[in-house]
Amino acid sequence: MKRRSKRRGRSGPKGPLLDGRLDSRPLQGALLHDQPRPRVMYERSAGGLVLKRERGAYHGLIIGRASPRIWALPKGHVEPNESIEQAATREVLEETGIEATIVCKLSDIRYWFYANKTKHHKVVHFFLMRYVSGTPTPQTGEVDEALWVRLDELNDRLTHVNERRLIEIAQNIVKEKAPAALGFR
């Protein structure tokens, strides 16, 4: 009867040792060490769902880009020495012409993507916001449309699944709190 080696799982010159024998299979991933690792960029953005209350119904502000149209919530990069809250309200104002104030945090969306042979890790901080003033005016060169859509119709309009989940969170907040508690008259 053969004894089992105590060296189980250790690496040998050709591969891992299993049961005291040298594994002659080629090393998985050996070529990965020869390849340069992709550069990773870490990005932070902030934005929000701006709500206004009109004739007893809530409406949310969305932006449209490109053709076919991509509908999304306004958002953009956090500048150096700027808080995520400041970035969120600034980006909403820049992209839509709407001044808003933060009611509460909705959620963060995190994802990875590749662009120009660079791997990006992005975190977008989203806030629920209340309309203060302004008329939807798309930012020239960045946004093609900015418009109000009834809150109960936003999920049908938004392109990105993660942003549709934010709408569900906002709908629950609106159901739980009275309009006055959210800052609406």
Give per-residue pLDDT as tens, 97-122. 999 999 999 999 999 888 888 999 99
Answer yes or no: do 14 and 67 share one domain.
no
Are residues 67 and 5 both part of a single domain?
Answer: no
Q: Which domain holds residue 151?
A: 39-182
Task: Please list the ranges in the chain whose pLDDT falls under 70.
Answer: 1-35, 38
Residues 65 and 155 in one domain: yes
**pLDDT tens, 171-181?**
999 999 888 88
Report the mean per-residue pLDDT for the chain: 85
26 and 43 inside one domain: no
Report the C-alpha gap between 70 and 79 in whole angstroms: 25
Is the domain of 95 the same as that of 149? yes
